[in-house]
Amino acid sequence: MNFHILTLFPEAIDGVKHSMIKRGIDDGKITINPVHIRDFAINSRRQADDYPYGGGAGMIMRPEPIYDAYKSLNLSQAKVVFLTPSGRVFNQKIAQEFAQETDLILLCGHYEGIDQRIVDEIVTDEISIGDFVLTGGELAAMVVIDAVGRLVPDVIKPESLAHESFSDGLLEYPQYTRPYDFMGHKVPEILLSGHHGEIAKWRSEKALEATRRKRPDLLM
Ligand code: ADE
């Protein structure tokens, strides 16, 4: 899976190269390719933004540098995901859809926004990571890379993905490790029973109970 990130802050994307994603990169299952939009700026001052037509505060990212950065990838069939608070709210289902792709282009906005014509021309999906406003799309792009990258085959063991939160529309059941007794709280006896069927049943019940209590909206 190749992630191409169109950004004014390519170094920011390094933050995602840890843990499982780093292993995916080291194993050749994932590539992270930040493309610096400023390298495609319109003049020697490396300008990539301009004043908004119609007036208003802040600067808007110009369409030409973004378009040229996109064209340099030569991936006309790839999805182009624009990270924006006005997009569809990202979730596990969308992560699974994106994980089917070979190349994913992530477009990070900055300043007060980007020229609408670049959105109309190249963007296939507008994605938000939640109802709040970040200073730019880079953190959101890293959220998408992390959530999608871990679903790429062989980055994480399939057993680990099978029972995690949202995989079956429910939150995850509680997990325990040693010590058996932590400050008077003991590990539930059923988990020590060696009864795999009973343990699986207990875990399903706990997953449902946790979902009812913490995220009843998932059951509607
Ligand atoms: N850019 C700024 N805020 C964002 C958000 N909430 N989600 C995705 N991209 C963003």
Q: Are 39 and 64 in contact (CB under 8 A)?
A: no
* Integer Cα distance of 207 and 210 in angstroms: 5
The stretch 25-48 carries a mean pLDDT of 96
pTM over 0.75: yes
Output the pLDDT for position 215.
97
Mutate to test the pocket of ligand 1, among 13, 127, 129 (most ligand atoms within 8 A of CB): 129
Q: Which strands form 103-108's sheet, in the order they lie side by side?
A: 31-36, 2-7, 103-108, 79-89, 125-128
User: End-to-end distance of the chain based on CA atoms, in angstroms?
Assistant: 33
CB atoms within 10 A of CB 97: 13
Residue 167 has pLDDT above 80, yes or no: no
The stretch 156-173 carries a mean pLDDT of 87
Q: How many A from CA of 143 to the centre of ligand 1?
A: 10
Token code pair at residue 144 = 């998408």
- Measured from the CB, is residue 83 less than 6 Å from ligand 1? yes
Output the pLDDT for position 162.
81
- Measured from the CB, is residue 7 less than 6 Å from ligand 1? no
Which amino acid would we find at residue 35? V
Output the pLDDT for position 165.
84
Output the pLDDT for position 38.
97
pLDDT band at 158; cut points 50, 70, 90: confident
- Measured from the CB, is residue 131 less than 6 Å from ligand 1? no
pLDDT band at 87; cut points 50, 70, 90: very high
**DSSP letter (8 states) at residue 189:** G
Residue 142 has pLDDT above 90, yes or no: yes
